[in-house]
Amino acid sequence: MRTGVIGLILPSTFSFLEMMWRICPALAVGCTVVALVPPASPTPLLLAQLAGELGPFPGIINVISGPASLGPVLASQPGVQKVAFCGALEEGRALRRALAGEGAELGLALGAEALLLLSDAADVDSAVEGVVDAAWSDRSPGGLRLLVQESVWEEAMRRLQARMGRLRCGRGLDGAVDMGARGAAARDLAQRYVREAQSQGAQVFQAGDVPLDSPFYPPTLVSDLPPASPCAQAEVPWPVVVASPFRTAKEALALANGTPRGGSASVWSERLGQALELGYGLRVGTVWINSHGLRDPAVPTGGCKESGSSWHGGPDGLYEYLRPSGTPARLSYLSKNLNYDSFGLVVPSALPAGPETGPTPAPPYGLFVGGRFQAPGARSSRPIQDAFGNLHGYVAEGGAKDIRGAVEAAHQAASSWAGQSPGARRALLWALAAALERRESALASRLERQGVELKAAKAEVELSVRRLRAWGAQAQAQGQTLQLGVLAIVCPDEWPLLAFVSLLAPALAHGNTVVMVPSGACPLLALEVCQDMATLFPAGLVNVVTGDRDHLTRCLALHQDIQALWYFGSAQGSQFVEWASAGNLKPVWVSRGLPRAWEQEAEGAGPELGLRAARTKALWLPMGD
C-alpha cells in the first residue's frame, strides 16, 4: 500500500530529469509529494509551474524553495510519512540524527562521486571518452576516481591530456560546448580541493578552452596523490578526476572498495571474464562495463555503504514509496530526554536478591560465536527466570568485545556463504528445520516453563519449522540474490522461539551472515537452536550473543562494519538505533516499541522481511562488435 505524503529534499546539482525520476514513481503509486528545493536554481521553478498546471489534482506536487536548513523542519512535520533526501553526505547524516525517534522513514541518496577502472585489456581511447562522460560533461553528477592499470598508465595519461585539450567550456545553452558551470559554490569547492591536493604532493593538469571568469572551472586531472593523504579519502568534487595506478585486478578491487562511498562505477576491459569478475566484486549500486553513465527508468539506481541505501527506478524504486498493508501510519515516539551518550553504556549490575535455591542448575551457556560455544570476555553470566519465578538457567553476559568477535566471525563466513548456490542454502535451512523437529519436546518443555500452554508451545515449534522450510524453498526458487553482508538482529522479548527463527530464516536465505541478540526474557530457546546450528552450519554463519540488551544494542548500532540492523525492542532503543546508524549510514528497521504479530503470516513471514534482507545491483554490459 502506498506510503502517503513524501517529503523530498533535493540538492541544487540535480537536473530536471533527475528530479522527475524521483517524483514520478511516488506519484505513480499514489503518494503526494512535497519537494524542498534550493532557492538559487531555476530548474525547480519549472517543476513548480508544472505542479500548478495539474488542475484536477491540485496539491499532489508541492514545491518549497528554501535553504537546506528547512530540511529537518520539513521532515519533522507530523503529516510526512517518509523523507527522501538526496544530497551531500554530512547533511544526510545530520538529517538521520535529527529524525531519530520521529517515526518517519528516511531514504538517503548521498554523494555524487563515481569510479572508473581501466584495465590493460581495455580500449584505452574509448575509456578516455568514458572519463569525459563521467567527469567533464554536463551529465556527470560529480567528480571521478580513476584507477588505471600500471602497464597502460603512460598511454592513458597521454590520451587523457590530449583529450582534455579539446574540451570546450562555456555557457550551458550553447550547443557546441562540452561542459558548463555549476555555480560559484561548486567552483570554490573544486578549487579548494585542488589546492589541498597540490599541497599534499599531487600533480595537477588542467586544460581545455575555458572562459577565465568565475564560475567556470577547467577540467582537472590530479595524479600522484599519496593514497594516505586526506584528499584521497575525501569525496572528489566536479570537475576533478583523481587518477591512481594499480598492479593487478585484486589490488584494483581492494582500492576501489576501500572508500566509504559506494555509488556507481564503470569497468573497462575487453576480456569478458575479467570485466564481470570486477563488476561483481565492486561494492557499488551500479556497474557499467565498457561504458559509463547509462540510465534507464526501468533499472534500479542506488548505492550502498555511505552512498545511502535508497533506490530510484525499477521495482526497487517503487518499493521505496510503498509499505506493507496494515502498517500503522507514522507515530512519533520521540523521547526528548534520551541521552545518546549514555544509553546502554554501562550495564546495570544485578546483585542477586537473596540466596538462590532450587535444583542444581545446568552449567551456564556460553556465547555462540564462530560456530561453537565460548566463554564471554567478561567471564560472567546472568540468571534467567522462568514464568513461575524459578531459576531456568544461566546465560553468558556478553559485552563490547564479544560483539566485536561475533561481527568478525560473521565477516569471515560471509564470502563463502554468499557464494553458496541457492540449493545449498535451501539444504541447510531444511536441515535445521529437521533438527528442530527432532528437538520438539525439549523446546516445548522450555516454552511451557515460560508459561506457554503445551498445545500452544507445540504449535509454536511447528510454525517455526514450517517457516524455516518455507524460506528455504523461497531461497531456491528466487535464485541468486545479492546479500547485504553482516546483518545484526535484536530479537523481541516475546515469542522467544518463533521470532528468533522468523528473523533468522530470511536473513540466511538471502545470503547474509547474522549476529543475533535473542529474547531477553528467555534466550535459552535460541541457545537450544544453536546447539543444532553448531553441527549443521558453517562456523560464523550465525552468532548469538546474550547479555544486557541495551548495551549490546549500543555496540551493534555504533559498529561501523555491520551492513544492516533490525531492532525489535523498546521505543528508546529504537530511537537510539536510528540515531546511531548515522555513523556508517546502515539501513535500520526498528519496531518503535510496538509489538508485532509474529504468528501471523503477513507480519511474521511476509515479503517485507525478504525485501529488507537483500539489496540490488545493476550491471550494464553493452553488446556489439
Partner 1 sequence: YKFYNRGISKYLSWISKIQVNHPAVLRRAEQIQARRPVKKEWQAAWLLKAVTFIDLTTLSGDDTSSNIQRLCYKAKYPIREDLLKALNMHDKGITTAAVCVYPARVCDAVKALKAVGCNIPVASVATGFPAGQTHLKTRLEEIRLAVEDGATEIDVVINRTLVLTGQWEALYGEIRQFRKACGEAHLKTILATGELGSLTNVYKASMIAMMAGSDFIKTSTGKETVNATFPVAIVMLRAIRDFFWKTGNKIGFKPAGGIRSAKDSLAWLSLVKEELGDEWLKPELFRIGASTLLSDIERQIYHHVTGRYAAYHDLPMS
Nearer to partner 1, 123 or 408 (CB): 123
Nearer to partner 1, 163 or 392 (CB): 163
Nearer to partner 1, 266 or 519 (CB): 266
Q: Is the peptide bond before 215 cis (omega within 30 degrees of 0)?
A: yes
Question: Contacts with partner 1: how many residues (CB under 8 A)?
Answer: 23
Contacting residue, 62, 191, 206, 291, with partner 1 by CB under 8 A: 291
Nearer to partner 1, 45 or 162 (CB): 162
Q: What minimum distance in Å lies between the beta carbon of 42 and partner 1?
A: 23
The three cell numbers of residue 533 are 546450528
Instruction: Count Cα neighbours of 179 within 13 Å in the Cβ-side half-sphere.
Output: 30
Nearer to partner 1, 341 or 625 (CB): 625
Q: Whose CA is closest to 195, among 154, 230, 157?
A: 230
Binding piece for partner 1, criterion CB under 8 A, among 39-47, 169-177, 370-378, 415-423: 169-177
Q: What minimum distance in Å lies between the beta carbon of 218 and partner 1?
A: 18
Q: What minimum distance in Å lies between the beta carbon of 623 and partner 1?
A: 7
Helix (H, G, I), strand (E, B) or coil at 246: strand
Q: Between β-strands 381-385 and 391-396, what pairing exists: parallel, antiparallel or unpaired?
A: antiparallel
Nearer to partner 1, 139 or 195 (CB): 139
299 CB-near residues (< 8 Å, 6+ apart): 313, 314, 618, 620
Cell 527463527 found at: 501
CA 584 to the chain's CA centroid: 9
Q: What minimum distance in Å lies between the beta carbon of 310 and partner 1?
A: 29
Contacting residue, 158, 192, 195, 247, with partner 1 by CB under 8 A: 158
Q: What minimum distance in Å lies between the beta carbon of 119 and partner 1?
A: 10
Distances, alpha carbon 587 to alpha carbons 29, 245, 582, in Å: 23, 33, 9
Q: What distance in Å separates the CA atoms of residue 482 and residue 496, rounded to the nearest whole number?
A: 29
109: left (phi over 0), alpha (psi -120 to 50) or beta: beta
Instruction: Count Cα neighbours of 370 within 13 Å in the Cβ-side half-sphere.
Output: 12
The answer to whether 92 and 108 have CB atoms below 8 angstroms apart is yes
Binding of partner 1 by 195 (CB under 8 A): no
Q: What distance in Å separates the CA atoms of residue 326 and residue 313, rounded to the nearest whole number?
A: 25
Q: What minimum distance in Å lies between the beta carbon of 133 and partner 1?
A: 8
Contacting residue, 175, 227, 348, 479, with partner 1 by CB under 8 A: 175
Scan residues 95-154 and list those touching partner 1 (CB under 8 A). 121-123, 125-127, 129-130
The answer to whether 68 and 41 have CB atoms below 8 angstroms apart is no
Scan residues 456-485 and list those touching partner 1 (CB under 8 A). none
Nearer to partner 1, 129 or 188 (CB): 129
304 CB-near residues (< 8 Å, 6+ apart): 262, 283, 284, 285, 615
Scan residues 604-623 and list those touching partner 1 (CB under 8 A). 622-623
Q: What minimum distance in Å lies between the beta carbon of 324 and partner 1?
A: 41
Q: What minimum distance in Å lies between the beta carbon of 130 and partner 1?
A: 7
Nearer to partner 1, 125 or 356 (CB): 125
Q: What minimum distance in Å lies between the beta carbon of 167 and partner 1?
A: 10
Helical pair 422-438 and 440-449, crossing angle rounded to 10 deg: 60
Taking the CB of residue 372, how many other CB atoms lie within 10 A of it?
A: 11
Binding of partner 1 by 176 (CB under 8 A): yes
The three cell numbers of residue 156 are 592513458
Beta strand spans in 119-258 (E): 144-149, 203-206, 220-223, 240-246
Nearer to partner 1, 62 or 291 (CB): 291
Spell out, one character per residue from 292 to 311, where the chain touches partner 1: x when CB under 8 A holds, - when not. --------------------
Binding of partner 1 by 270 (CB under 8 A): yes
Nearer to partner 1, 175 or 359 (CB): 175
Q: What distance in Å separates the CA atoms of residue 207 and residue 161, rounded to the nearest whole number?
A: 8
Contacting residue, 166, 195, 247, 250, with partner 1 by CB under 8 A: 166
Q: What distance in Å separates the CA atoms of residue 154 and residue 198, rounded to the nearest whole number?
A: 21
Binding of partner 1 by 273 (CB under 8 A): no
Q: What minimum distance in Å lies between the beta carbon of 121 and partner 1?
A: 6
Binding of partner 1 by 624 (CB under 8 A): yes
Q: Whose CA is closest to 92, among 11, 37, 31?
A: 11
Q: What distance in Å separates the CA atoms of residue 522 and residue 446, rounded to the nearest whole number?
A: 9
Q: What minimum distance in Å lies between the beta carbon of 145 and partner 1?
A: 20
Q: What minimum distance in Å lies between the beta carbon of 180 and partner 1?
A: 13
Nearer to partner 1, 268 or 321 (CB): 268
Helical pair 400-418 and 549-558, crossing angle rounded to 10 deg: 60
> Which residues in this chain contact partner 1 in the complex, by CB under 8 A?
121-123, 125-127, 129-130, 158, 162, 166, 175-178, 268, 270, 290-291, 622-625
